[in-house]
Amino acid sequence: MTASHDIDHTHDPALRSWVASANTPDTDFPIQNLPLGMFRRAGTTGSFRPATAIGDQVLDLIGAAELGVLSDALGAVLRTCEGMGLNPLMSVGPDFRRQLRHELVAALNADAGPTSSQTLAPALTPLADVELTLPCRISDYTDFYTGIHHATTVGKLFRPDNPLLPNYKWVPIGYHGRASSIGVSGQTFRRPVGQTKAPDAETPSFGPCKRLDYELEVGALVGTGNESGQPIAIGDAERHLFGLVLLNDWSARDMQAWEYQPLGPFLAKSFATTISPWVVTMEALAPFRRAFTRPDGDPRPLPYLDSPANREQGAIAVQLEVHLQTRAMRDAGEAPTKLMCSDFAESYWTVAQMLTHHASNGCNMQPGDLFGSGTQSGPTPEQGGSLLELTQGGKQAITLPNGEQRTFLQDGDSVALVGRCEAPGRRSIGFGPCIGTVAPAVTG
Amino acid sequence: MTASHDIDHTHDPALRSWVASANTPDTDFPIQNLPLGMFRRAGTTGSFRPATAIGDQVLDLIGAAELGVLSDALGAVLRTCEGMGLNPLMSVGPDFRRQLRHELVAALNADAGPTSSQTLAPALTPLADVELTLPCRISDYTDFYTGIHHATTVGKLFRPDNPLLPNYKWVPIGYHGRASSIGVSGQTFRRPVGQTKAPDAETPSFGPCKRLDYELEVGALVGTGNESGQPIAIGDAERHLFGLVLLNDWSARDMQAWEYQPLGPFLAKSFATTISPWVVTMEALAPFRRAFTRPDGDPRPLPYLDSPANREQGAIAVQLEVHLQTRAMRDAGEAPTKLMCSDFAESYWTVAQMLTHHASNGCNMQPGDLFGSGTQSGPTPEQGGSLLELTQGGKQAITLPNGEQRTFLQDGDSVALVGRCEAPGRRSIGFGPCIGTVAPAVTG
């Protein structure tokens, strides 16, 4: 049985594609990546179809199958994805997905030559000319809290002497999130309105959020699920995972502070969540696996969350960044400014542990279920994955290159998450854009 | 515009049906009820079809349309429900649903006479011969916390001097729940396994839940939704609601205590939730509306949660009960024993307020979204809606009629929720069964 960590010829850094733009060093989508998503030609109203991104092009996978480039079995599964998302492909498991990767590499690599490029030309559309939507139907969305630096910094704001709660190093803490308001990169959402209560106020008030924030997260999508009552062993978890996206867990801090006791965040989060449209598959991530380590003295995970494979390569190195572009910057043609960077390999729990823990009580997972990783802050104060952290709870504004200041987000602000995997001797791959924009609140 | 509170000829207590069993005083399903659900003949594998219950019979609504008894427009909507749930009917709004009710009363009432009964005979199946499934596809499930007696009693277990948190009387507290593990009455689920930590233990352990509990709740199903960013005014909320079911929010108390800080309940709840298969529509509930009142001195809801209609008849009187049948009782042929009763009219927030609050931040609701009410305990200790309350946190076992004792649920226990609406001069209606059974944990 092949494992999703396994490296094969599709990861060869020397591989090049006849799609020339896939061979430039800075592309997110070289032939070693081949992320999966759902597209249609911009300006049309047809159904969305499964696709991969290669350089600056989108390859229609049903089209590729019709052109005889993919096997019949794959073509049949891909056709069932049309108009509904990648869920059917997710449900058939990792071996099918690996086969798709191998067939795509065979068709798209430079050695496939002019015949292949002529054959596939009708199935390619420039990325600039397509509309992308959510990669799958997300039945359930769960947000974890695996960023220990985030949990520590935020905990300090409330409990200076005891920032991490006693369960943190034992339990992959998570909570159910709202699925209906998950949108894809490009999402513009209204500033939420809600109840807040100032510390010195007698009663709460109702109005637009004043402390609107982003959270830098990685999203993991479930491939095959499990039956109710049947947990997923840690050794099997990787085979149930489909791939990763970037995820922005927009947060209304003032609403959160007032509402979250005793049952957790609710309206402070449910107004919008943005993910990137391209799923970087577990296979594409194989060269970027890392040992799962913890600081000396921290407890070893309980046996149900521990396995040799998880220890040896459970972590995934994704270089993460947050970029902010205000309306003034956009109007002046100024590029977004980088606010921070961190590494997903520092997550306190692995994606396999998140899945195994989630199913450990018998809860049934379904293809397309989404897990947020929790905010991925780095260890230093400059590496906060949210404005709450970067501004010390709104006390210390950050100054942008154009002189503007921010404690929290203002209307018109766009936040872009960036994710890129790099390793010595390996072709770098990226996640593509994950951008969301704040529109003014609806009031009155 | 007709409001869902409005009483019309379909509520006339003198109405009788030519389905004789619908006229017995103790039926849950007289002609004044006409709940909606999804059925197929037991033992078959065809797709589930929309239906109503009348006495001890199920009426196939697509069949009724094909027999010419329902209008073409209704028939067209009902056909799109086949195999997928009531969501299409939910999405077309309350006027369509009211029309369905009126057409059904016209066809099923005793004055419709022998022609109607002969015409419709092929569309009737005894309830005893059908299989029922979830009434709709539930995209998102939210569990509220509107039972103030429950919140107070449970709060006292943790904070004797300050049982209710400061936000309770201002915010309809809620959290996102797991949709995938919602099952319909008849659900049997495995006792969950998970992490717990004894107060005197150094480290947590992993094993079957030792404090498994039920929670007596009412579920509200959303009819028409709202666009993202567009809140639902309190005055419009009733028109967005489809109807009510009973809901058992199974809870693993020992897991909950260890995991719930700081983000709320997660695996302590996500293993199973059971709802009743028949949705009692908002129209059927019209005679049982009550004024929404609060104790003197409690704050008035903020304006976005306040309206004259909500004050005058926002509450809904549903007499609720919990019955327990242990395996020993079942083996001995003993009936379930009643553990408590309460009234949904005492909920601290109305279903309209739950919906308006949920959408107030711009979160988009979808047809078929489910809200749990939170545990509906009554004001006295004997009216606890969970074993946690009835046994004072497991300290005081209850004794069953056969001499068995319970602090929390044991394997083989079945819990049945009962809901019934009664009002002077009105025909009583009921919710039908909501039963779930505990199977042994999967271990090893």
Name the CATH superfamily housing domain B141-439: Fumarylacetoacetase-like, C-terminal domain (3.90.850.10)
Q: State whether B361 and A179 contact (CB < 8 Å).
A: no
Residue B102: Cβ-neighbour burial (10 angstroms; 0-12, 13-18, 19+): middle
Kindly report the nearest CA distance between residue A436 and chain B, in angstroms: 14
φ, ψ of residue A280 to 5 degrees: the values are -80, 120
Residue ranges per structural domain of chain A = 9-132, 141-439
Q: Which CATH number fits domain A9-132: 2.30.30.230, 1.20.58.100, 1.20.1600.10, 3.30.565.10?
A: 2.30.30.230
- B chain contacts of residue A264, beta-carbon cutoff 8 Å: 175, 260, 262-265
Indicate the average pLDDT of chain A.
96
Establish if B189 touches chain A: CB-CB under 8 angstroms. yes
Q: How far apart are CA A102 and CA A98, in angstroms?
A: 6
Dist CA A205 CA A209 (whole Å): 11
Q: Select which of A5, A9, A11, A150 is catalytic.
A: A150
Instruction: Give the tens place of pLDDT for each residue, A173-204.
Output: 999 999 999 999 999 999 999 999 998 999 99
Mark which residues 351-410 of B lie under 8 Å from A by CB: 357-358, 360-366, 369
Q: Which of B150, B240, B357, B358 is catalytic?
A: B150
The answer to whether the CB atoms of A193 and B362 lie below 8 A apart is: yes
B203 touches chain A (CB under 8 A): yes
A358 is known as an active-site residue: no
Q: Please tell me whether the interface predicted TM-score (ipTM) of this complex is above 0.90.
A: yes
Burial bucket for residue B398 (CB in 10 Å: 0-12, 13-18, 19+) = middle
The first and second tokens of residue A325, run together, are 């572009």
* A1-24: average pLDDT: 89
Q: Tell me how far apart the alpha carbons of residues A56 and A125 are, in angstroms, rounded to a whole number.
A: 9
CB A97 within 8 A of CB A285: no
Measuring CA to CA, how many Å separate B71 from each of A188, B51, B96?
A: 42, 15, 11
Q: Answer yes or no: do A176 and B178 touch at CB < 8 A.
A: yes
Q: How many CB atoms lie within 10 A of CB A55?
A: 22
Q: How far apart are CA B271 and CA A392, in angstroms?
A: 38
Sign of CA dihedral B91, A180, A360, B246: negative
**pLDDT of res. A390:** 98
- Alpha-carbon span B40 to B61, nearest angstrom: 12
Encoded tokens for B204: 């947590």
Per DSSP, B24 falls in state S
Identify the band that residue A136 occupies on the pLDDT scale cut at 50, 70 and 90.
very high
> What's A165-227 look like in SS3?
CCCCCCCCCEEEECCCCEEECCEEEECCEEEECCCCCCCCEEEECCCEECCEEEEEEECCCCC
Structure tokens at A239: 């085979």
Q: Is B167 on the interface with A (CB under 8 A)?
A: yes
- CB proximity A168 to B under 8 Å: no
Q: Which residue has the tokens 């030609």?
A: A41
Q: Is A287 helix (H, G, I), strand (E, B) or coil?
A: helix
Domain B9-133 is classified in which CATH homologous superfamily? Fumarylacetoacetase, N-terminal domain (2.30.30.230)
What per-residue confidence (pLDDT) applies to B437? 98
Q: What letters, b where the CB count within 10 A reaches 16 and e where it falls short, cover A410-430?
A: bebbbbbbbbbbeeeebbbbb
- Which tens digits make up the pLDDT trace of A65-102? 999 999 999 999 999 999 999 999 999 999 999 999 99
pLDDT single digits (tens) A212-263? 999 999 999 999 999 999 999 999 999 999 999 999 999 999 999 999 989 9
CB-CB: which of B189, B363, B439 is closest to A267?
B363
Q: Does the distance separating the beta carbons of A263 and B175 come in below 8 Å?
A: yes
- For residue A444, the distance in angstroms to the closest alpha carbon of chain B comes to 10
Structure tokens at A34: 């081949």
- What size, in residues, is chain B? 444
pLDDT above 90: residue A363: yes
* Binding site residue list of A for Mg(2+): 249, 269, 273
Assess whether pLDDT exceeds 60 at residue A129. Answer: yes
Partner A contacted by B190 (CB < 8 A): yes
Preceding amide of B262 cis, omega within 30 = yes
Instruction: Pull the structure tokens for residue B159.
Output: 């904070």
Q: Do A362 and B203 touch (CB under 8 A)?
A: no
Rounded Cα gap, residues B247 and B415, in angstroms = 11
pLDDT digits (tens, 9 = 90+) for A406-418: 999 999 999 999 9
DSSP state letters, A79-115: HHHTTT-SHHHHHT-HHHHHHHHHHHHHHHBGGGHHH
B265 shares contact with chain A (CB less than 8 Å): yes
* CB B16, CB B428: distance < 8 Å: no
Burial environment of residue A402 by CB neighbours within 10 A (0 to 12, 13 to 18, 19 or more): exposed
Amino acid code (one letter) for A385:
G
How large is the angle between the packed helices A113-120 and A94-108, nearest 10 degrees? 110
Average pLDDT per consecutive 10 residues, chain B (444 residues; last block may be shorter): 78 97 97 98 97 98 96 97 98 97 96 86 97 98 97 87 92 98 98 96 97 98 98 98 98 96 95 98 98 95 97 97 98 98 98 98 98 98 97 97 98 98 97 98 81
| B65 sits in which H/E element | helix B61-66
With CB atoms and an 8 Å threshold, state whether B167 touches A258: yes
DSSP-derived pairing of the beta strands B251-252 and B289-290: unpaired
Which of A145, A361, A437 would best serve as a mutation to test chain B binding (most B beta carbons within 10 A)? A361
Residue B258 touches partner A, C-beta closer than 8 Å: yes
Nearest CA among B308, B303, B311, B313 for reference residue B357? B303
**8 A C-beta contact, residue A226 and residue A233:** no
Closest in A173, A179, A268 to B140, CB measured? A179
